[in-house]
Amino acid sequence: MNNEMARLQKCLNCVRKATSFVPKVAVVLGSGLGGFADHIRVAYEMSYHEIEDFPVSTVPGHEGKFIFGYVGDVPVVCMKGRVHYYEGYGMNEVVLPIRLMKLLGAEILVLTNAAGGVNPIFRAGDLMLIKDQISLFVPNPLVGENLDELGCRFPDMSAIYDRELQVLIREAASECNIVLQSGVYAQLSGPSYESPAEIRFLGKIGCDAVGMSTAVEAIAGKHMGMRICGVSCISNMAAGITDAALNHEEVQENAGRVGTQFCGLLITAIQRM
């Protein structure tokens, strides 16, 4: 067995020794959005530290654990905290949790993040449905020997974000009276925020929001045949769009401020998945 598969199998065995819970939906909570976890009817919690060889985050605000439980009647596994490429992990490690959640049974992947608004019509505090993505600025997580057990060598990315899930999220938003923007998410490596010139460039190539996660997770999920949807919380306008300087604490605070809306949207949507 390939090393990466062996590592994944080891993590899977470790989780399976602790719980037989089979999730339908996997949810990844972004920076400052961890409050959603309070709305899960918890069946079991497992700290990432308890899973042998599992990548563990070093960033404040990315407390690391899996929460297994129910949103309505829907069995979910929720990642509270994720690891990022900028922490020095390889892309294989960054996407390992996504692969693990699929092997645990999750068919649907709900990705969330805090992101900078590139589209000038956005405002800090907006929520954006991710329609498509640009991941040209970070290594592809599928580089290396293909894990044939997971998916094919050249997976199609022409519809990464599932159309039906997009409709479902839009309907949930209108029911919750939430104005939902939509657009293209670009992943850059970070950890520095972008320069104004970089943001102008991103705007010109069709990007609406920018962040440091998500796109590679979506690629790994799609490789394994997951149905994917994503919501960005526009925690700040990106560099140069306004005169404001950026810092991580403010980004987290702003993301936390729309937490109620964000939770309402996710709960309503996931109950129908």
The footprint of ligand HPA (CB under 6 A) covers 114-116, 193-194, 210-212, 235-236, 238, 246, 251
Task: CB nearer to ligand HPA: give 21 or 193.
Answer: 193
Provide the minimum distance between the beta carbon of 170 and ligand HPA in the complex, in angstroms, as a whole number.
Answer: 23
Is 223 one of the catalytic residues?
A: no
Buried b (16+ CB within 10 A) or exposed e, 64-87: bbbbbbbbeebbbbbbbbbbbbbb
The active-site residue out of 172, 212, 218, 239 is 212
Task: CB nearer to ligand HPA: give 17 or 245.
Answer: 245
The active-site residue out of 4, 26, 62, 85 is 62
Amino acid letter, 16: R
The active-site residue out of 87, 89, 140, 146 is 87
Is 236 one of the catalytic residues?
A: yes
Task: CB nearer to ligand HPA: give 101 or 251.
Answer: 251
Q: In angstroms, rounded to a whole number, what is the distance separating the alpha carbons of residues 63 and 85?
A: 16
Which positions ≥6 away from 116 have C-beta within 8 Å? 193, 194, 199, 209, 210, 211, 234, 235, 236, 237, 238, 239, 246
Which positions ≥6 away from 58 have C-beta within 8 Å? 87
Provide the minimum distance between the beta carbon of 253 and ligand HPA in the complex, in angstroms, as a whole number.
Answer: 12
Provide the minimum distance between the beta carbon of 124 and ligand HPA in the complex, in angstroms, as a whole number.
Answer: 9
Do residues 110 and 26 lie in contact, with contact meaning Cβ atoms separated by under 8 Å? yes
Is 49 one of the catalytic residues?
A: no
Provide the minimum distance between the beta carbon of 69 and ligand HPA in the complex, in angstroms, as a whole number.
Answer: 27
Task: CB nearer to ligand HPA: give 173 or 238.
Answer: 238
Provide the minimum distance between the beta carbon of 112 and ligand HPA in the complex, in angstroms, as a whole number.
Answer: 12
**Phi first, then psi: what are they for 186, rounded to 5°?**
-115, 135
Residue with tokens 């329609």: 131
Q: In angstroms, rounded to a whole number, what is the distance separating the alpha carbons of residues 175 and 202?
A: 32
Task: CB nearer to ligand HPA: give 84 or 227.
Answer: 84
Is 174 one of the catalytic residues?
A: no
Which of 165, 97, 108 has its CA nearest to residue 131? 165
Is 113 one of the catalytic residues?
A: no
Is 213 one of the catalytic residues?
A: yes
| Catalytic (active-site) positions | 31, 62, 84, 86-87, 114, 212-213, 236, 248
